[in-house]
């Protein structure tokens, strides 16, 4: 397990593609705790996700267009909710990061 290496491992960029597909609802919370711990010890994480509970925990968002694959918006949650130009921005407006 990578977390057991602690601060002695070189910083790493982790990319997770839909990590909440399959696990039980309660295991998703454990996943968020593990991701947070990876960040706290200096690693970076990119998560490709559709789970709304995971999305609202992100520090930075990159929204890719479904048809084009182009970046249609990007920013912090605060920046995204000010935009409200597309579906993702409107969705994020309904969430408070602390909830």
75: β partners: 61
Which one has a higher pLDDT value, 89 or 36?
A: 36
pLDDT digits (tens, 9 = 90+) for 58-91: 889 888 877 788 888 888 878 877 776 777 777 7
What gap in Å lies between CA 37 and CA 73, rounded to an integer? Answer: 28
Residues 6+ apart with CB under 8 A from 4: none
Domain ranges of the chain: 12-58, 63-99
The pLDDT-based confidence of 99 (bands split at 50, 70, 90) is very low
Q: What is the pLDDT of residue 57?
A: 85
The percent of residues above 90 in pLDDT, for the chain, comes to: 25
């Amino acid at each position: 397990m990578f977390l057991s290496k602690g601060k002695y491992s070189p910083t790493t960029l982790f990319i997770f593609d839909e990590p909440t597909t399959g696990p039980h609802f309660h295991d998703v919370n454990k996943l968020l705790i593990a991701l947070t711990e990876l960040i706290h010890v200096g690693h970076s994480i990119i998560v490709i996700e559709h789970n709304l509970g995971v999305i609202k925990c992100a520090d930075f968002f990159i929204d890719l267009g479904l048809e084009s694959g182009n970046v249609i918006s990007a920013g912090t949650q605060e920046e995204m909710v000010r935009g409200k130009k597309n579906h993702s921005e409107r969705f994020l407006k309904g969430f408070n990061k602390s909830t």
